[in-house]
């Protein structure tokens, strides 16, 4: 296979992976408009890419605390470092349903998130990528553990 054909194939694989991977991927520009919306986000939000792209993140999801999130995101835009949010701070970014709506106990999906800078060729950052992880299982285990600990009177 020629080099450019190989690159195209790899590109298609990568697109496939991004679409099907079981974490949420959201790319945002400087105005917090959505530029990329993968399969995970589509399936859990019920919003197709054409319904999410070009819209302002906060207008679509008012459960996200705007000033809190922007503070985190600005550090990524300006300082070119990663930022993290964990479910212990806030249980979720996006209010999605529990992945186990029948057998599960959690009311919603607990989430951790990573925000990474996406750099331009000149090193400046005009886009960020929000990676959303479902951590419901470990969050529930922690709850259970805390419950047991308080029952035993230790903590």
Partner 1 sequence: MSEITALTEDERDCYQEITNVAMGQAADRLARLLNVYVVLPIPNVNIIERSEFKMTIKSLEDAPSVSAVCQGFIGAGIAGEALLIFNDLSFSDIAKLLDYESVQNSNEELEMLMDVANVLNGACIQGIGKQLDINFSQSHPVVLGQHRPISELLDDKHATWERTMAIEINYTIEDHNVNCDLLLLFTEESVHHMNRLISFLLED
Nearest distance in Å: CB 131, partner 1 = 15
Where does this chain bind partner 1 (CB under 8 A)? 20, 22, 39-40, 42-44, 46, 97-105, 107, 134, 137
Could you tell me the smallest distance in angstroms from the CB atom of residue 20 to partner 1? Answer: 8
Q: CB nearer to partner 1: give 118 or 140.
A: 140
E strands, 1-155, where?
Answer: 24-29, 34-37, 83-85, 111-119, 125-134
Cβ-based nearer residue to partner 1, 18 or 118: 18
Output the furthest CA–CA distance in the chain (Å, rounded): 68
Q: Cβ of residue 115: shortest distance to partner 1, in angstroms?
A: 22
What DSSP assignment string belongs to 80-92? ---EEE-TTTSS-
């Amino acid at each position: 296979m020629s080099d450019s054909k190989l690159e195209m194939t790899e590109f298609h694989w990568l697109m496939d992976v991004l679409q099907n991977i079981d974490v949420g991927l959201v790319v945002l520009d400087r105005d917090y408009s959505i530029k990329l919306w993968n399969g995970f986000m589509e399936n859990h939000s019920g919003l197709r890419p054409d319904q999410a792209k070009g819209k302002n993140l906060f207008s679509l999801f008012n459960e996200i605390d705007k000033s809190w999130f922007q503070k985190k995101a600005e550090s990524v835009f300006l300082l070119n470092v990663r930022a993290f949010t964990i479910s212990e701070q806030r249980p979720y970014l996006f209010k999605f349903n529990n992945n186990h709506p029948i057998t599960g106990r959690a009311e919603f999906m607990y989430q951790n998130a990573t925000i990474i800078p996406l750099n331009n060729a000149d090193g400046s950052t005009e886009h960020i990528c929000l990676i959303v992880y479902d951590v419901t299982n470990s969050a529930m285990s922690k709850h259970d553990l805390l419950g047991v600990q308080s029952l035993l009177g230790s903590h």
